[in-house]
Structure 1
Amino acid sequence: MHHLPRSILRSMACAAAIAVPVPALSHPHVFAEARLDVTVTPQGDVKSLRHLWRFDDLFSSTVLLEFDANSDLKLDADELKEVSRVVYESIGEYGYFQMVRVDDKPVAMKPPPGLMVDYQDDQLIILFESEPESELKLAGKLDFGVYDPTFYTAIDFIEDEQMSIDRLPQGCASAVVRPDPDEALVQNQAKLTEDYFNDPTVEDIGALFATRLQITCGAAG
């Protein structure tokens, strides 16, 4: 059993009690450069979200050391499969760090069937694809983002091109939105009360600060 590795990877999705829910008071310990591709059907529905995460060298080397069962300084197929299983279980309760909203209302996504994990150039790479639970049309304002609600893991989109949509219907516009943390706090100061943080039914504060791909379309016919 990989007790220690599981604890390390579970730290990517640690409980809110461990990480203070305000970015100014909490600092990430794991860093990943990400890519998000939104795929669209010919009918104008969101088909899936395709994710690629490339983790920093320090965290990747920690994973290598902990999961390298045969001590050959690489991760073979079985070892990568174990990494995939542990990460999948760890972040599942956080919706796999996905944020999807339509007109500021959360949209449910199906759990991905699994994670593809690789180790290249001393970096851990995770890929997966997920689909909406129900039909999701490109109508109104849609936001797609990726973030760790505990702020333990920083998932960064370095270039705007790392957030894309493969088929933008006529009448729709896309933009990458990067909220300013100070402005987000000021704009949402009225609702950032103690009751807000103690209410498990509200959307977590991390969504206010997450970089997102915003698609704006006309209303559905």
Structure 2
Amino acid sequence: MGQSLMNRGNAGILAMLAAALLAASGGTSLAHPHVFAEARLDVAVNDDGEVQALRHLWRFDDLFSSTVLVEFDANQDLKLDADELAQVADTVFQSLAEFDYFQIVTADGRDVAMSVPERMVADFTDNQLIILFESRPKEPLPLQGKLNFGVYDPTFYTAIDFVEDEYMAVENMPGYCERQVVRPDADEAIAQNQQTLTEAFFNDPTGNDLSKIFATKLQISCTANG
């Protein structure tokens, strides 16, 4: 995937995401993912050693992308023009608002509030839908202690995968910090959370933390500044 994906422009994820969010009210049908995406996350750090922004890129599977194309190709010319791409981006943007745009950020185990992204950009290249957006912490977030960054769908409808560890990167990371990509072991995660994985947990129509348990995370561990 790499840098080439960052150059791809504006296309068609929204329909499937909107459908996914509508399906979230269906309960048990969401026991496993129906939509798949390869992702890249870049954590940008400013010169003061604070997290400036999270830059997201998601590339969706062929089936989902084809569905988006069919749903948003209003003039039926088998492509998505600028207006259609803008509609896709707006749909995704609105649909994911209540799910915090599938991102989770913690500092020493505490949730970090993120500002709403200014916008999303959709692109459709090589028959695949690509979504790009940037978000920022609501309050200054210094690189201290242990910070975790993850991307997951709480309804477990969409599986977001970071294929290579390099797809979770830190820009301008200080020398007093270390970066690690954490990929939870499925059996171990189930064992550690067995008491909470009840039938009610899986049938909760508002979503659950199952995908959070299995989500790949970027972990930044820092000693005292300097």
| Number of the residue aligned with 1:50 | 55
**1:18 correspondence with 2:26:** yes
Contact 1:139-1:220 within 8 A present in 2 as well: yes
**1:183 correspondence with 2:188:** yes
Q: Counterpart of 1:18 in 2: which secondary structure? A: helix
Which structure 1 residue ranges, 4+ long, deviate > 6 Å from structure 2? 194-200
| Number of the residue aligned with 1:125 | 130
Question: How far has the Cα of 1:186 moved from its partner?
Answer: 1.1
Indicate the percent of aligned positions where both proteins have the same amino acid. 59
Matches within 5 A, 1:200-219: 204-219=209-224
Tell me the distance in 2 between the aligned counterparts of 1:11 and 1:71.
Answer: 20
Unaligned runs of 5+ in 1: none
Count of residues in Structure 1 that have an aligned counterpart in Structure 2: 214
Tell me the distance in 1 between the aligned counterparts of 2:139 and 2:78.
Answer: 43
Matches within 5 A, 1:127-142: 127-142=132-147
Contact 1:144-1:212 within 8 A present in 2 as well: yes
Question: How far has the Cα of 1:205 moved from its partner?
Answer: 3.7
Question: How far has the Cα of 1:190 moved from its partner?
Answer: 4.3
TM-score normalised over the length of structure 2: 0.85
Matches within 5 A, 1:1-221: 8-14=16-22, 17-20=25-28, 26-192=31-197, 204-219=209-224
Unaligned runs of 5+ in 2: 1-12
- Cα-to-partner distance string for 1:77-102 (whole Å, 9 max, x where unaligned): 00001101111110111000001011
Contact 2:15-2:71 within 8 A present in 1 as well: no
TM-score normalised over the length of structure 1: 0.87
Contact 1:46-1:132 within 8 A present in 2 as well: yes
Tell me the distance in 2 between the aligned counterparts of 1:192 and 1:12.
Answer: 22
Contact 1:143-1:213 within 8 A present in 2 as well: yes
Question: How far has the Cα of 1:169 moved from its partner?
Answer: 1.1
AA of the residue aligned to 2:131 = I
C-alpha spacing 1:48/1:141, structure 2 compared with 1 (3 Å): same
C-alpha spacing 1:37/1:19, structure 2 compared with 1 (3 Å): farther
Question: How far has the Cα of 1:220 moved from its partner?
Answer: 5.6
Tell me the distance in 2 between the aligned counterparts of 1:163 and 1:135.
Answer: 21
- When the two chains are superposed, the root-mean-square deviation of aligned CA atoms in Å is 2.8
Tell me the distance in 2 between the aligned counterparts of 1:88 and 1:102.
Answer: 25
